[in-house]
Chain A
Amino acid sequence: MRSRFLFPAALAALALPFLVAACGDDNSSGGGGGNLSGTIRIDGSSTVGPLSEAAAELFREENPDVRITVGISGTGGGFEKFCAGETDIADASRAIEQDEIDACREKDIAYEEVTVANDGLAVVVNPDNDWAECLTTAELKNIWDRGSNVNNWNQVRDDFPDQGMKLFGAGTDSGTFDYFTEAINGEEGRTRKDYSPTEDDNVTVQGVSGDPGNIGYFGLSYAIANEGKVKTVQVDGGDGCVEPTTETVQNGTYQPLGRPLFIYPSAEALQKEVAREFVQFYVDNQEAIAEQAQFVPLTEEQQQEAADKVARLAG
């Protein structure tokens, strides 16, 4: 894994002199005039990865000479590289944690948290499952909590059928895992162990679609992309059943499985025009980017806040 990042790093070092030259007099904003060049290294959450990739793709349409690498080592892995100074931007599906803050401080890496989209986690079941229309967070916790031995739907609710259940979920490295375990089981990393953990959401799709009783969870965007193979479940967080959709995630009613997604650009990277323009572009075009990557765009309020932050950083 590590060697993949050596090459771009070396490239960046080589490109630096040209970059400084390019920075000289060009001062246009809003995506640049197409004459930017250089390398931007991004790594982090596998959920935010597609978003940054979409942003990179759109950005490169205007600035074809810019090289943007987007790794997906998970939020934790992304921060690890970020705080070691190996990347310019960390993709994160949760806010930075204390030990990561400390790691960054140790290396004198300053950064800012910028919200770039909203995401929802979807609990998915087999399309043939016609009983679990809506599950409460307490029922989900009963299924997923540490030490749980629920392996039949009739253990979840009395009127559910006698149907075996196999569980599929996120691998321990992913931000999705951190988020789901915290939101449902009340503590990050707290989970039963006897399920199939995977960083590859497609395995979960295959697993859940393979048997009528199976259940899993992953990002809403992935659930929507696999409509027909899996079915999303409404979640009752205490205020009634809410269907996971763009609207419910955006307006915050889909709780507790709706969340904002972040990028963390480093202050040092933002000294470079190419990275500054890219972050600016990311926020300005968040709606198109979110749409392309099948995420939920920011509300006006969120976008204003993000734009203010970027303006402050760039200034």
Chain B
Amino acid sequence: MARRLTASRRRYGEALIRLALMACAAVSVVTTVGIVVALLEPSIEFFRQVPFGEYLTGSDWSPLFEPSSFGVLPLVVGTLTTTFWACTVALPFGLGAAIYMSEYAGPRARRWLKPALEVLAGIPTVVFGYFALTAVTPFLQDIGLPVEIFNALSAGLVMGVMILPTIASLSDDAMTAVPMALREGAYGLGASKLQVSTRVVVPAALSGIVASFVLGISRAVGETMIVAIAAGAQPTVTFNPYEAVQTMTAYIAQVGIGDVPTGSLEYKTIFAVGATLFAATLIMNMVSIRLVRKYREVYE
């Protein structure tokens, strides 16, 4: 053990490989930095023309109309509403599926379930979007809910289904990694299967579960296609899930494919909204890292 495991001769191939691999790792960092830089400049110019306070607290978002107004609140509320409904589906069902797969399912069921979940994760979001608009919304209307044709509820629910596999799969990994000895100890004390699952395994895997939640929620916040197709294009400050909303991402998509002149104030709005979105997900990730550290339990 005392001897260092270095080669007696310099291996240039190794250095090359090391460099290539480092470049691979650097791509994501460089991209993130690039995005921040690209977002920052037009955003700063935007805030030179529109006061920051007015942007953050204004409740009327209509930058393309005359007279224009730049209160981002309706878009933020739209994003929060759809994300909330996504969570009502994805968090309980995702966690439930993970508990089943890790604690209850036999190896055979597990062999089928996990790939099936991953197939769900592979469905293009545009397909989910039209599924929400042409299947889920009519269904909600059929069961008597007063939903509009474009509404936050249907988009949110389907978005929940979209992020469910992420949460289920990552939580399952976290729970499977909990040492068998913990379970055996609990069983030895006379605990039932449910007690072992919910009181021993879930708390032990909590850091991984929280990480999966945050990742799932981040995806919901950033999801574009489903909300652009099914949630409407009407920025309103409303938490009523039956009404049409517009999320931050859907706004960016709408203006991005339109033809507002480059460099105009209207054009810069998409960078300001993009920066807002970026800041929101960044804060969420930071919070999650803290949570994960706080609840992390290390075994052996």
Contacts and interface: CB of A to CB of B under 8 A. Distances in A.
Nearest to A78: B259
B244 interface: yes
A207 B66 contact: no
Chain B interface mostly helix, strand, loop or mixed? loop
A116 B202 CA distance: 69
Contact of B259 (A173, A195, A207): A173
Contacts of A197: 64, 233
Contact of A196 (B64, B232, B258): B232
Contacts of B66: 189-190
A41 B214 CA distance: 48
Contact of A211 (B65, B149, B254): B149
Contacts of A32: none
B148 interface: yes
A166 interface: yes
Contact of A198 (B137, B233, B260, B261): B233
Interface string B36-79: 00000000000000000000000010101110000000000000
Interface string A189-209: 111011111110001001101
A76 B233 CA distance: 22
A74 B137 contact: no
Contact size range, A: 20 to 34
A73 interface: yes
Contacts of A191: 65
B31 interface: no
How many B residues touch the partner, as a band? 20 to 34
Contacts of A198: 233, 254
A191 B65 CA distance: 8
B65 A206 contact: no
Given A206-B133, A207-B150, A211-B148, A194 B234 contact: yes
A30 B64 CA distance: 44
Interface string A65-88: 000000001101100100000000
Contacts of A73: 259
B244 A196 contact: yes
Interface of B: 60, 62, 64-66, 133, 137, 148-150, 232-234, 236, 244, 254, 257-262
20 contacts: A1-B259, A73-B259, A80-B259, A171-B258, A172-B64, A173-B259, A173-B260, A190-B66, A193-B60, A193-B62, A194-B234, A194-B236, A196-B232, A196-B233, A196-B234, A206-B133, A206-B149, A207-B150, A210-B148, A210-B149
